[in-house]
Chains A and B, each alone.
Chain A
Amino acid sequence: MTTIAVAESIEQFRERFLNITREVGRRIVGHDEVVSFTVTSLLAGGHVLLEGIPGVGKTSLVHTLADVLHLTFSRIQFTPDLMPADIVGTNIIQEHTQGGTFFEFQQGPIFANLVLADEINRATPKTQSALLEAMQDVSVSVGRTTYRLEQPFFVLATQNPLEMEGTYPLPEAQLDRFFFKLKVTYPTEEQMHAILERTTQTEQPTVSRVVDGAALLEMRSVARAVAIAKPVQSYAIRLTLGTHPDSPHASAMARRYVRYGASPRASQALVLAGKIHALTRGQAFVSPDDIRAVALPALRHRILLNFEGEADEVSTDAIVQELLAGVAP
């Protein structure tokens, strides 16, 4: 690969990324950062946990993304009585035409490129854990058989932070498997006008498919080729270690309010997302600014607060921000 080819790759990556976000933005009003981080997570091969009150466009975002990316899409509405087999699929008895029966695997909704796990915290932990293998290994095991999922595989889960009655908070192991946790905020007045104009008229905004699955996988490989200097990588590691209360890099809030810090997956997320962020800026290298830009969505859900933190209603965002201010790049 020559330097010219590298330059072309960077430019192509940047162009595709902008096309995706632009197309999504034609239907989704506002939330530019959420859209950008969602696409980043998709290109990094990670999954996203979207948190927001009902009606702010979480499900629409996933629908639109599926349309733009020309990917197979399925939606799973999580409820307390949802069973793992309802997600993964199950073996059902079939009858041969010549007589006799046999088991045939019936694929669940997880077999798609883009899976929307709506209100994931309403399902029981047993059902939630059915996603674990799929999210981590991109495969599901039913009985003695393991089934590979088609790449790109991308889970977008949503949860409502308000209605906590009858919900099952996601276990730490599950949370850690989400590349990013994004907070979908309430739209501003101006954005509300735009939403109403787009959704209450005869013509609905349409989006075009700008990237297919193959192009998406190519973008993934380009993202991983970006060079990162060791001092910058060291910065990502120090940020991760800083979330641990017993670390020398830990901030005062982390020491006081954190029970467990982020796992090494957080460092992976920081570096990968940093690379993609650098490419979107047309850079062939990762800078500390890139790491800083993605630190909040990569770390906020990987910090487990202790009792004091819960009692004081401390936000993990505040802990991460203090960390960013305190750890030298």
Chain B
Amino acid sequence: MTGHPAPLKTSPASDVVRARVADADRLRRMREESRRVWRVAPLAAAVCLAIAAAARWAGWSPLVPVGAVVLAAAALALAVLGARRHRDVSDRVAAALDADASLNGELRSAHWFAHQDGPDAWVDFHLHRAADRLQQVDWNTLYPAPPVARARIASIAMVAGALALALIGPGRASAMADAVTANTRKPVPLTGRALESLPPELRKKIEDLLAAVEAGRAGSLTGAQVRDLLAQLDQLRAGTSADKPKPPQDAAQLDPAKKPNEADLKALAQRAKKASEKPELQPETRDALADMSDDLSDAAAEARKSAPKELQDAVQSKEVQQGEAAKSASSENVAPSGQSMKDTAGAGSVGIMMMTRDSGGNGDPGFGPGQTPDPNGGQGALPDLAAALRKETIEAGADNAGDNLPTSVRRRTEHGNATIGYAHSAPAAAEHGRSAAPPPVPEARRGAVRAYFSRKQ
């Protein structure tokens, strides 16, 4: 028994019973829905607040959290409105109302008879009595309004917070710029990059340690101390450390001459190797020093690979780049550009890319990729970097193929149709997708390679 047909013949008592039961059912549904809504509302408000916080952090449009708030409010309002509408009362609902009002089945029975045709005297009497009793029931006491003060305050506070975060917080463009900057800060797996930012204190520690060993003052030196330095070095080389030392900002540290280059690293490696051969040291310390020597040697090799151009025209490029840097710094309205500053002190100099901006051209160049002393924490914006990269010739590390590779035929990606030439062979069309030049062709196989390309052409 879930429902009743429409009444065919009614009496006033049956009308009263039907109306009372319907009102009671509506009140009960409203109270239940209100209780449910105010249980859900704080959760929905919390979700909206979280969305607003996420939107602010990620630079989404403010419409996203506002939309979430509107959507949640609309859903809850719909639920309340749904509970308020009248509907047919089923026998099950009538039984529940009857039980709640402790009417011992009178409401349920009367509700059923109120929907029946042709009531006799007994049924009429029953309906009259039931109508009287139903009128005496205080349904508002039976179904009191749920205590929602705390839930209401919490919901309103959280919604207000969400809206404040969405509307009063920083604009979308700023958030986007932050997001782009954040993206450029993401660690790039560059092998030579970590050593570019070798902190002076670490370098000093290594040098002090080596000096102590060389001076015969290493009596108290332990393997653990060396390993600790080694671990820091590994962290830098891996480029993944969250506690990566912040690049120095002062002018002295920005001096390319003071940055560790291949020669420095090699020298350090040799010193570490010599130190590791000292018989007065403990075996563990000697092993650690040997490891350090190996690591420094590897780092020197990586540094050399990261700057192949300097191998070719170290002296000339230094003059040119320094001139360009000066030009860039003095210009007010130049397009963003990237320059490479070269340290020609050694054979394996380290290239440094720096940025100039339209608005910040008078500042000192930063250290590292896209570093400028602008309000973004010295980080270049992605569009600037992109423009700079378009203008800059990218030379793959592996492109340093040796003496047999003519400088004039190196691939230039800015043109997109650069050609690569091999000694004593016709130039071949380069693949646009390739980022690294092929390895040098051994002398013994040069004839075969030449034959291959000649046939292809």
Contacts and interface: CB of A to CB of B under 8 A. Distances in A.
Interface of A: 1-3, 5-7, 225-232, 234, 283-290, 329
B234 interface: no
Contacts of B125: 3, 6-7, 284
B91 interface: yes
A229 B104 contact: no
12 contacts: A3-B121, A3-B124, A227-B120, A228-B109, A231-B95, A283-B106, A284-B122, A285-B105, A285-B110, A287-B104, A289-B104, A290-B105
B121 A329 contact: no
B126 A285 contact: yes
Contacts of A1: 120-122
Contacts, number: 63
Given A2-B121, A6-B121, A227 B108 contact: no
Interface in B79-128: 91, 95, 104-106, 108-110, 112-113, 120-126, 128
Interface string B376-406: 0000000000000000000000000000000
Nearest to A286: B109
A118 to B, nearest CB: 39
9 smallest CB-CB distances across A and B, nearest first, come from A287-B105, A229-B112, A3-B125, A1-B121, A6-B125, A229-B109, A285-B109, A284-B126, A285-B126
Contacts of A288: 105
Interface in B129-172: 129-130
Contacts of B110: 285
A288 B98 CA distance: 11
A321 B123 CA distance: 31
Contact of A227 (B91, B95, B122, B128): B122
A225 B125 CA distance: 12
Given A225-B122, A285-B126, A329-B95, A231 B104 contact: no
Nearest to B91: A231
A227 B126 contact: yes
- Report whether over half of chain B's contact residues are helix, strand or loop; otherwise say mixed: helix
Contacts of B1: 230-231, 234
B121 A5 contact: yes
B374 to A, nearest CB: 74
Given A3-B128, A7-B125, A227 B106 contact: no
A3 to B, nearest CB: 4
Given A227-B126, A230-B112, A231-B91, A287 B121 contact: no
Interface in B165-212: none
Nearest to B129: A284
Nearest to B123: A227
Contacts of B95: 231, 329
B109 A232 contact: yes
B122 A226 contact: yes
A232 B105 contact: yes
A256 B114 CA distance: 41
Contacts of A227: 109, 113, 120, 122-123, 126
A231 B126 CA distance: 16
A289 B122 contact: no
A70 B179 CA distance: 102
A287 B123 CA distance: 14
Contacts of B129: 284
A286 B123 CA distance: 11
Contacts of A3: 121, 124-125, 128
A285 B106 contact: yes
Nearest to A329: B95
A288 B105 CA distance: 7
B124 A287 contact: no
Interface in B307-341: none
Contacts of B108: 229, 231-232, 287
A286 B130 CA distance: 13
A1 B124 CA distance: 11
Contacts of B106: 283, 285, 287
Contacts of B122: 1, 6, 225-227, 284
Nearest to A278: B105
A42 B23 CA distance: 43
Candidate in B91, B123, B125 with the most chain A CB atoms within 10 angstroms: B125
B15 to A, nearest CB: 16
Contacts of B126: 227, 284-285
A284 B122 CA distance: 7
Contacts of A6: 121-122, 125
B128 A287 contact: no
Contacts of A290: 105
B402 to A, nearest CB: 90
Contacts of A234: 1
A285 B120 CA distance: 13
A23 to B, nearest CB: 28
Given A228-B109, A231-B1, A287-B109, 18 more contacts: A1-B120, A2-B121, A3-B121, A3-B124, A3-B125, A227-B109, A227-B120, A229-B112, A231-B91, A231-B109, A232-B108, A234-B1, A284-B126, A285-B109, A285-B110, A286-B105, A287-B106, A329-B95
Contacts of B120: 1, 227
